[in-house]
Structure 1
Amino acid sequence: MNPYVRDRINRKLETLSDERLYQVLDYVEFLESKYAEKPAAVTNVFQKFTDGVEDTLRAGGLAASTVTEAVGFLNKAMGVLNNVAQTTKTVATDVVSTARTVADQIGAPPPGTATGAPAAAAPAAAAPAAAVPAAPAGPPADLSAAAGSPPPAPSAPPSPSPLPS
């Protein structure tokens, strides 16, 4: 875009009210849909959401000042969410970097490699069979006998009591 034309348009736009600016925006979007020589710049999810809310509020007939105020709040929220997303990305990068450093120090494969899981299982599989105690063939028939206590006496069903006549 020619910077001189952009500056001249901006100077002209500064003299208009919000209602007229929305008319200009509508006209620019119309011109873009008909005559754009290249696709519009890709916006992020937050900006698309804000634009959608703004268009919905305008379609609802709200005053331009109300729409402007609402979009201002959304833009502030968008800034906060962008900061949160950037911070989360930074923290995740730091965690992965630290995990790789620790893995390098102890000689383990770095996280996320295909050899990570089998290498950890290999030492257990290489243990000699004699070092592993043999498991009993099955549970004893009477668990109380295995614990060293006498088996409990079988309980008899209660006898029916005679009904009074």
Structure 2
Amino acid sequence: MPVRVLIPLRSPQVRAALTLATSAMVAVAMMAHATTDDTTLPEPEVIVTERLETWRGQGMSDALLAQISDGATVFRDTCAVCHGALGEGGAGYATPIIDTAALDKFRTGHRLFLYNRDMMPFNEPGSLPPETVWQVTAFLMAMNGWLDGLDAPLGADNARDVAIAP
């Protein structure tokens, strides 16, 4: 009978293996998305820029727009490798997270923040500073249409009141 050895998920060996495997996936995905023309914005960045301008035209506060814009940058640099450039799903296994019902289960901005803070990024959960996690959470919520009417940056003082509506 084979002997099974259980290694806790957070053990150094498992974390090292996950980090190595994820780093390899990140490198492959980044090479696949590399562009040779630096003079034009990639399509996802054009879409985000257009949405930011639309929200500005609708009266969204500059502080919230800045938070969302910063979150878009973090998403591009940290999250898109798994979740896709616009949250449509990415490198093989990641669930689409923009324009889908995948995040509805979190119900509020605060609960989505907690999940992002504790579980993301996949290869190094809990490694992002809280301000960065708020930025990404605001970006995700804005892209899903859940920040309409919010007049200040998303944060601990208001996120419990910002509903994730299916």
* TM-score normalised by L of structure 2: 0.25
* TM-score normalised by L of structure 1: 0.25
Higher-RCO chain (CA-CA 8 Å, sequence separation at least 6): 2
Q: Give the number of the structure whose alpha-carbon radius of gyration is greater.
A: 1
Normalized per residue, the structure richer in helix is 1
